[in-house]
């Protein structure tokens, strides 16, 4: 593969795959500077391993006299504009390696540059940053002789961020996931950047995903639980606010025996089953909905979840206690900074979104022009969705091979 020569790739193969870049000291002066060119910015908490902030570093610095045996450089240095600046003089001919932290610890010194900086950069070529989109848009679509003669950059930033949010909800592959265990409270806290869930699954002993279904109308986590007096009136505290109790609905749901809903019958819950029947839910099988037969929608053993908006948690049915689950959710792509990324497959759709958003909110734009760009945006967004839906002919063929199997 060629070395970077002015194309969009700016890292060498060594920088990308190994996360390392080498230099050689040509003088023995103090204050020598070596500029790195990684796609990832250097993060330097401290050059001194004894300092707490040393662990914030996303790289390690190694030196060697012969280019074979490397040791970590633990004397003072700084990093400015992604350049390493040695405070003291280093001998002429010293080999210097900047190793970004990797899961395997890198290939130099004690191979203990352990972290995720290298892996986080893998695959980055398939994305473009929001920052680049804004700059490209200003170059390509704004200026004299163009449809948008002038435009405030802050307007572009606003629309690109709104676009990022909207695209994230239904177009981009920005599904995030967390692996969690269900605690005794039967509820897990929503992720910090949570916008909506995509799917929640429990993971069985084979590592297979079993989809957990929403409880929907089976139960609810009420938003308010006012304490009532004997007349049913809510009671208030000294400050005039309603007194709140704990949710009895949630308590009952937590203690519910799911098999009484799902129809699963086993020896473990035999006694509970008979007790349940005596509670007036029926005689015989006595399951929920029994009078009209079992409800197929709830006849499953994977469990249920429901959103507890009051506490910002996801609550689970009691049969999922201690189970491993994976929460897949979508965010809006803006949780952290402008380095948020857009897949290149959707880059043109983002430009079309910007054009339409800016022209449609500008007074005096002919309606025909607005409609033109509305259709342009719609078409490009549809293209982006098709591209990102990752439909591959071979995969469809593989699925279709199962069409002749009889499902009994």
Q: Which of residues 337-366 bind other proteins (CB under 8 A)?
A: 337-338
**Ramachandran area for residue 113 (φ above 0: left; ψ -120 to 50: alpha; else beta):** beta
Task: Choose between 201 and 365: whose C-beta lies nearer to other proteins.
Answer: 365
Contacts of 348 by beta carbon, 8 Å cutoff, 6+ apart: 380, 383, 384
Residue 193 burial (10 A CB sphere; 0-12, 13-18, 19+): middle
Number of residues that bind other proteins (CB under 8 A): 23
Pairing assessment for the beta strands 209-214 and 304-308 based on DSSP bridges: parallel
Cα gap 75→394, rounded to integer Å: 56
CA atoms within 13 A on the CB side of 385: 12
Instruction: Point out which span in 227-235, 330-338, 383-391, 398-406 binds other proteins (CB under 8 A).
Output: 330-338
| Given 1, 5, 50, 154, the residue binding other proteins (CB under 8 A) | 154
Please report how close the Cβ of residue 353 comes to other proteins at its closest, in angstroms.
Answer: 14
The secondary structure element, H or E, covering residue 398 is helix 393-400
Instruction: Point out which span in 150-158, 283-291, 347-355, 397-405 binds other proteins (CB under 8 A).
Output: 150-158
Instruction: Point out which span in 60-68, 146-154, 294-302, 344-352 binds other proteins (CB under 8 A).
Output: 146-154
Q: Which of residues 31-90 bind other proteins (CB under 8 A)?
A: 41-44, 79-82
Nearest to 186 by CA among 301, 327, 306: 306
DSSP 261-310: HH----GGGHHHHHHHIIIII-STT--TTGGG---GGG--SS-EEEEETT
255 binds other proteins (CB under 8 A): no
134 binds other proteins (CB under 8 A): yes
Task: Choose between 161 and 199: whose C-beta lies nearer to other proteins.
Answer: 161
CA atoms within 13 A on the CB side of 182: 25
Please report how close the Cβ of residue 12 comes to other proteins at its closest, in angstroms.
Answer: 18
| Given 66, 144, 170, 394, the residue binding other proteins (CB under 8 A) | 144
Beta bridge partners of 176: 329
* Residue 406 phi, psi dihedral angles, 5° rounding: -80, 130
10 binds other proteins (CB under 8 A): no
Please report how close the Cβ of residue 37 comes to other proteins at its closest, in angstroms.
Answer: 10
| Given 23, 54, 127, 158, the residue binding other proteins (CB under 8 A) | 158
Q: Is 202:323 a contact under the CB 8 Å cutoff?
A: yes
Task: Choose between 39 and 376: whose C-beta lies nearer to other proteins.
Answer: 39
Please report how close the Cβ of residue 25 comes to other proteins at its closest, in angstroms.
Answer: 21
Q: Is 198:329 a contact under the CB 8 Å cutoff?
A: yes
Please report how close the Cβ of residue 339 comes to other proteins at its closest, in angstroms.
Answer: 9
Task: Choose between 58 and 262: whose C-beta lies nearer to other proteins.
Answer: 58
Tell me which residues touch other proteins (CB under 8 A).
Answer: 41-44, 79-82, 131, 134, 144-145, 149, 152-154, 157-158, 161-162, 334, 337-338
């Amino acid at each position: 593969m060629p070395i970077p020569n002015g194309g969009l790739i700016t890292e060498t193969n060594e920088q990308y795959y190994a996360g390392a870049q080498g230099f050689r000291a040509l003088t023995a002066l103090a204050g020598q500077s070596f500029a790195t060119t990684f796609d990832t910015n250097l993060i330097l908490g401290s050059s001194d391993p004894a300092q707490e902030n040393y662990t914030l570093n996303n790289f390690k610095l190694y030196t060697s006299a012969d280019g074979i045996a490397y040791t970590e450089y633990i004397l003072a240095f700084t990093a400015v504009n992604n350049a390493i600046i040695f405070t003291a003089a280093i001998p002429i001919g010293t080999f210097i390696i900047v190793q970004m932290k990797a899961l395997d610890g890198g290939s130099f010194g004690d191979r203990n540059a352990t972290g995720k900086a290298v892996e986080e950069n893998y695959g980055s070529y398939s994305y473009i940053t929001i920052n680049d989109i804004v700059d490209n848009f200003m170059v390509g679509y704004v200026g004299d002789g163009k449809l948008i003669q002038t435009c405030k950059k802050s307007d572009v930033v606003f629309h690109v961020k709104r676009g990022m949010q909207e695209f994230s909800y239904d177009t981009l592959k920005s599904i995030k996931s967390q692996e969690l265990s269900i605690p005794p409270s039967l509820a897990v806290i929503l992720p910090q950047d949570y916008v909506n869930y995509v799917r929640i699954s429990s993971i069985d002993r084979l590592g297979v995903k079993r989809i957990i279904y929403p409880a929907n109308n089976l139960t609810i986590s009420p938003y308010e639980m006012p304490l009532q007096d004997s007349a049913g009136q809510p009671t208030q505290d000294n400050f005039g606010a309603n007194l709140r109790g704990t949710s009895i609905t949630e308590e009952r749901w937590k203690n519910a025996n799911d098999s009484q809903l799902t129809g699963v019958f086993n020896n473990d819950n035999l006694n509970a089953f008979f007790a349940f029947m005596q509670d007036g839910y029926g005689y015989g099988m006595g399951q929920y909905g029994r009078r009209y037969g079992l409800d197929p929608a709830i006849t499953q053993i994977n469990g249920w979840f429901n959103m507890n908006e009051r506490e910002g948690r996801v609550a689970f049915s009691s049969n999922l206690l201690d189970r491993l689950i994976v929460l897949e959710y979508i965010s809006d792509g803006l949780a952290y900074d402008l380095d948020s990324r857009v897949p290149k497959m959707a880059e043109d759709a983002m430009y079309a979104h910007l054009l339409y958003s800016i022209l449609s909110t500008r007074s005096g734009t002919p309606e025909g022009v607005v409609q033109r760009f509305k259709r342009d945006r719609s078409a490009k967004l549809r293209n982006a969705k098709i591209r990102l839906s990752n439909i591959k002919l071979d995969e469809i063929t593989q699925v279709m091979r199962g069409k002749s199997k009889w499902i009994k």
